[in-house]
Every structure is written in structure tokens, then in C-alpha cells.
Amino acid sequence: MKIMIRIFSLLFLLLASYSIASAQCDKKYKLKPERIVTLQADGSEGEEMPFTAEITNSKDSVIITVTLPDGNTAEIRGKHSETVCKMNADYTEGTIDYKTEAQMSNGSESRQMKMSFTLEAKSGKLRLIGVPEDQPGEKICFIIKEKEEVK
């Protein structure tokens, strides 16, 4: 009987620690990039993109609104189908990987796409990397200057 109580206690502790550890990945953030760049195959920064963006990311979805130099906007909106969270509670170190069923639209055209997103934090610096699954060489990186939790 003591063994059963010990096993149930351990299971409870494991489940409780998993819930606490994954809670940081349940947050919803509004992210504002300072720069948007392409990424080279080796991970280094490539060309800087001449547009601005606003990003809202949650455990369930992502919305990226891009404003082009001519004032027109485009949007990527999608639901996350898979999430792998390895982020610390204050978003200063770690990653959150998302597989996303997205729709990209620019007002007159729209297309469905599968995308991968990685929210990456190193030494307190955040960046969001987006990659269309059918174009793995087309990586775009949003270097984040501000994050605001949305309640």
C-alpha cells in the first residue's frame, strides 16, 4: 500500500511540474519587431526587408500584419497544429516551435500554406523565425524590440 501511495505521489508531482513548466507557453503576446531580415542557410542575417510588422502570437494561433513601403498591408493568419515548448518563464532563454496551418492574404489574393515558426530567446533577445514548409530556404526573421503580454 505504501508503494502505491508513493507512486501516486510521484505521478502527481510529475503532472504538477509539467503544468507549471508549460504554463509560460500558454501566454499571448503582441510583438513589435525592430527589424525584419531574411536568414541565410547558415543562420546568418541576409537582406533587411523594407517593411514593418505587428505580431500577435498565442498558444493557439499567430497573426502577422505587414505594412509594405507603399502603405499596402499583407497578413499571415494561422492556427498552430503542433507546439514544442522549451522556453523559460520570463522568455529570456529557450525556444517555442510551432507547426501552423496559415493563410496569407494581401487584400486581393489569398493562399493556404503550412508554415513553421520558432520563437527563440537568447540572452533576453527575442526573434520569431517563419518558414513556409514548401520553401524551406525562404526563412524570414522578425527581430523583436518589444513584447507585451495580452490578457
Report the share of the chain in percent with pLDDT over 70. 84
- Among 13-22, 100-109, 118-127, 142-151, which is the least confidently predicted range? 13-22
Q: What are phi and psi of 16, to 5 degrees?
A: -65, -45
Q: How far is CA 103 from CA 8, 48, 60, 129, in A?
A: 45, 24, 15, 17
pLDDT in tens, 95-113: 999 999 999 998 788 999 9
CA-closest candidate to residue 105, choices 117, 97, 113: 113
Residue 146 has what pLDDT? 93
Rounded distance, CA 101 to CA 119, Å? 16
pLDDT at 23: 57
Give the Cα separation of 64 and 140 in Å (integer): 12
pLDDT in tens, 132-150: 998 888 899 999 999 998 8
pLDDT at 24: 63
| Mean pLDDT of the region 69-94 | 91
